[in-house]
Amino acid sequence: MITLTIALRNIFRHKTRSLITLSTIIFGCTAIIFAGGFFEDVFYKMRESYIHSHTGHFQIFRKGYWEKGNSQPYNYLIDNPDEIISHLQAIPGIKFITSRLQFSGLISTGENTVSCIGMGIDPGYENQDIPAGANLRKMSDAMTLEGPVIIQGKALTKNNPYTVMLGKGLASSLGITAGDPLIILTHTTGGSINALDVTAQGIFMTSSKEYDDHFLRLSLVTAKKLLHTDSVQSLVIMLDKTEDTAGVKKALARVFQDKKLDLELKSWDEISDFYRHTVNLFNRLFLILKLVIAIIVILSIFNTMNMAVLERTDEIGTIMALGTKKRGVLSLFMHEGLGLGIIGGSFGVAIGTALTHCIARIGITMPPPPGASMPWVSEPRIVLTTVVFAFMTSILTALVSSLYPAYSASRLEIADCLRHK
Amino acid sequence: MSIVKLEKICKNYTLGKTTLNALKNIDLNVEQGEFIALAGPSGSGKTTALNIIGCIDKPSSGKVFIDECEISYLSSDGLADIRAGKIGFIFQNFNLLPVLNALENVEYPLLHKKMAFHKKRKLAQEALESVGLGKYARHRPMELSGGQQQRVAIARALSTSPLMILADEPTANLDHVTGTEILTLMKKMNLERKTTFIFSTHDQKVMEIADKVVRLWDGEISS
Ligand SMILES: Nc1ncnc2c1ncn2[C@@H]1O[C@H](COP(=O)(O)OP(=O)(O)O)[C@@H](O)[C@H]1O
Ligand SMILES: [Mg+2]
């Protein structure tokens, strides 16, 4: 008790020095909380925009598609999508299940022809009509949570099948604007060639430049007509919350087994390698950052504690003469380090959280991430585990850096200390 | 009863190739209740002798008995227990802990004792009152004069009711009047409580108050 009192009073004895040390800890905490929040926001936006614009939370294919579907896509079509959907629909957490049919082909204005990938979607589900806001932040939010954003023209509608939406890059390589007529040319599932006159209803943009450069979206009905088939290629499941992925996956697998469905199930994280690699990379970067911060904090506290021991040699001699044992001296300086860690950590967590929160409200405009074409607005998130980590790190670094000074204080000879002046 | 007994104590310091004999074959016996001055010029070995008596330093050879118990076999924790239980210290520079107020300073040595918190407080308060500083309990050392600080130090030394109090030049940093007051206070405590005092000094006037003067000269007792 008295040890703690003495330790705390000694911390406040050298106000400037302690303030500098505390600032280092506070800075470290803030940096960790902010960087962690920034990375988390990157992960979140990337994940959600991929899910909503591209992968959905799950995709269901006919068995074998994942391995061989690339070369023979039409050998692995699903013939009974409605039946499958009816089995799965009741699983809690599922927002909707919809079908897709994808093909590669050519798209032409008559003058210009480029290759493209067509994706037949159900406009009732996968086609929120999000107008391109003037506001970058609204747009990046929409892209994250809703899917492709329409930057020109209008969204697909159910009752007008002969319309398509083009990715931004695809539209510009064709040199068209919304409303222009186009011809799509592709193989049917039977192998013959088929063409269709359509109108470019709108131009969209997603978080992936790759996608926007090659894809066009059209109504599933139209795609079926073009490919001469009634089957679909995949079922896309969208959940209410991404956190439910693991739980729903189990439920889906159970239904597959019960109903003997010969299907392949892939979750979004299995489909998007890119996300996994980015998370790994950023986590590694974050680890290095944390290490660097920890080292700076350790050196700063170490310096302070060492000075304290040097300055207070005569006090150490005095308390040892008065009967304090070596471990008592050790404990005194460890308490002092701990005090620095707790005070610094508490303020650090408070300031770091507050600052991250403020910055998130303002938002930081960031350049387009790799593979994307649009700047985005970062809104760092406060991650509880990172906040706890920052606090624990403050305490741990404080203890680690006090260990040697405290130990050397406890090893001092009393007579030498008392002669020291 | 013998409280301190030194037998053929030598203390050597090695300084490079030369050896400095700070104490040479010192024999000393201190009885309960004595008020002894260790007198001698600067460098004669007073501090060294007091440190050895106070279990702060170990002799190079010879035996030390505290309360009729040989201490050379004790570990550093064992010595700390002896200091905490049997010895009080007063220093030339007062050596109060600057972050503690007068009362807390007096209470500090009591921390090593197992007793209720309020009892420690009471003992400390009494000790502080006995040196006439009851009203200064909340003052930090910085806010006290040298004489007052040394009084607090005396109270601190007395608070555990030790067998003996060792004072290394307790008046050297005080003016003459204050020094005499401090010494008179020590003498008073010696008489009232029968606490043994051993103090060092190089001041002729100070020695006159002592019951017995042990003269040190170049590490030897010259009687
Ligand atoms: N740690 C030490 N190392 C070397 N010499 C020392 C040390 N401590 C004391 N001495 C020497 O021992 C002698 C006695 O010192 P000390 O006991 O301090 O004398 P006094 O207290 O009478 O002035 C002096 O010559 C001093 O220089
Ligand atoms: Mg001396």
From the CA of B168, give the closest atom in ligand 1. 21
The answer to whether residues A232 and A354 belong to one domain is: no
- Distances in Å between the Cα of A265 and the Cα atoms of A65, A271, A358, A376, B203 are 10, 10, 41, 32, 97
| A420 CB within 8 Å of a chain B CB | no
- pLDDT value, residue A129: 57
Q: Is residue A148 part of a domain?
A: yes
- pLDDT value, residue B223: 66
3-state secondary structure of B125: helix
CA of residue B48 to ligand 2 center, whole Å: 7
Q: Which residues of chain B have pLDDT under 70?
A: 223
The answer to whether residues A315 and A194 belong to one domain is: no
In the 8-state DSSP scheme, what is residue A55?
A: I
Of A227, A261, A295, which residue sits at a domain end?
A261
Residue A9 has its nearest CB partner, among B85, B93, B99, at: B99
Q: Is residue A55 part of a domain?
A: no
- pLDDT value, residue A335: 95
- Distances in Å between the Cα of A181 and the Cα atoms of A70, A187, A378 are 30, 20, 38
Count of other CB atoms within 10 angstroms of residue A92: 10
- Report the b/e string of B142-166 with b at 16+ CB within 10 A: eebebbbbbbbbbbbbbbbebbbbb
Question: Does the beta-carbon distance from B89 to A321 stay under 8 Å?
Answer: yes
| Distance from the B81 Cα atom to the nearest Cα atom in chain A, whole angstroms | 6
Go through chain B and tell me how many residues it has: 223
The answer to whether residues A161 and A235 belong to one domain is: yes
The answer to whether residues A6 and A117 belong to one domain is: no
The answer to whether residues A204 and A118 belong to one domain is: yes
Q: Which of B53, B61, B51, B54 has the alpha carbon at shortest distance from B12? A: B61
3-state secondary structure of B42: coil
In the 8-state DSSP scheme, what is residue B71?
A: -
- pLDDT value, residue B124: 94
Question: Does the beta-carbon distance from B100 to A6 stay under 8 Å?
Answer: yes
On whether the CB atoms of residues B11 and B45 are closer than 8 A, the answer is yes
The answer to whether residues A115 and A72 belong to one domain is: yes
Q: Is residue A244 part of a domain?
A: yes
User: What domains, with CATH codes, occur in chain B?
Assistant: 34-60+73-221 (3.40.50.300)
Q: Is residue A53 part of a domain?
A: no
On whether the CB atoms of residues B106 and B156 are closer than 8 A, the answer is yes
The answer to whether residues A200 and A320 belong to one domain is: no
User: Based on the number of CB atoms within 10 Å of its own CB, is A117 exposed (0-12), middle (13-18) or buried (19 or more)?
Assistant: middle
How far apart CA B2 and CA A255 sit, in angstroms, is 93
On whether the CB atoms of residues B108 and A320 are closer than 8 A, the answer is no
The answer to whether residues A235 and A172 belong to one domain is: yes
Q: Which of B150, B154, B167, B149 has the alpha carbon at shortest distance from B203? A: B167
From the CA of B48, give the closest atom in ligand 1. 17
The answer to whether residues A349 and A376 belong to one domain is: yes
Probe ligand 1: pick from B20, B199, B203, max atoms within 8 Å of CB?
Answer: B20
On whether the CB atoms of residues B105 and B152 are closer than 8 A, the answer is yes
Q: Is residue A271 part of a domain?
A: no
* Cα-based torsion angle of the residue sequence B59, B65, B66, B68 in order, rounded to the nearest 10 degrees: 170
The residue range of the domain holding A100 is 64-261
Probe ligand 1: pick from B15, B26, B48, B207, max atoms within 8 Å of CB?
Answer: B48
The percent helix, strand, coil of chain B (3-state, each to 5) is 40, 30, 35
Q: Is residue A329 part of a domain?
A: yes
Average pLDDT of adjacent 10-residue blocks, chain A of 421 residues: 86 91 95 95 89 90 84 85 89 91 92 92 73 66 77 82 91 91 91 91 87 92 91 92 92 89 89 87 94 94 94 95 95 95 96 96 86 83 95 96 96 92 66
The answer to whether residues A295 and A354 belong to one domain is: yes
Domain count for chain A, please give it: 2
How far apart CA B10 and CA A188 sit, in angstroms, is 109
- Report the b/e string of A40-57 with b at 16+ CB within 10 A: bbbbebbbbbbbbbbbbb
Q: Which of A214, A215, A233 has the alpha carbon at shortest distance from A224? A: A233
The answer to whether residues A236 and A337 belong to one domain is: no
| Distance from the A419 Cα atom to the nearest Cα atom in chain B, whole angstroms | 9
Q: Is residue A52 part of a domain?
A: no
| Cβ-Cβ contacts under 8 Å for A278 (sequence gap 6 or more) | A42, A43, A46
Question: Does the beta-carbon distance from B81 to A323 stay under 8 Å?
Answer: yes
Q: Is residue A383 part of a domain?
A: yes
What is the Cβ-side half-sphere exposure of residue A127, based on CA atoms within 13 angstroms? 23
Ligand 1 atom 3 nearest Cα? B13
State ipTM.
Answer: 0.95
- pLDDT value, residue A131: 60
Please state whether beta strands B164-168 and B196-201 pair in parallel, antiparallel, or not at all (unpaired): parallel
Residue B77 has its nearest CB partner, among A9, A325, A414, at: A325
- Does residue B14 line the site of ligand 1, with CB under 6 A? no
- Does residue B201 line the site of ligand 1, with CB under 6 A? no
| Distance from the A321 Cα atom to the nearest Cα atom in chain B, whole angstroms | 7
The answer to whether residues A16 and A144 belong to one domain is: no
How far apart CA A420 and CA B14 sit, in angstroms, is 18
Question: Does the beta-carbon distance from B76 to A325 stay under 8 Å?
Answer: yes
Structure tokens at A287: 């680890």
On whether the CB atoms of residues B97 and B105 are closer than 8 A, the answer is yes
CA of residue B186 to ligand 1 center, whole Å: 26
Least CA distance to A414: which residue of chain B? Answer: B56
Structure tokens at B167: 């004072």
**Could you tell me which residues are beta bridge partners of residue B12?**
B21
* Cα-based torsion angle of the residue sequence A193, A198, A204, A206 in order, rounded to the nearest 10 degrees: -20
- pLDDT value, residue A421: 66
Of A199, A226, A261, which residue sits at a domain end?
A261
Tens digits of per-residue pLDDT, A53-73? 888 999 999 988 888 877 788
Of A205, A230, A261, which residue sits at a domain end?
A261
Count of other CB atoms within 10 angstroms of residue B14: 9
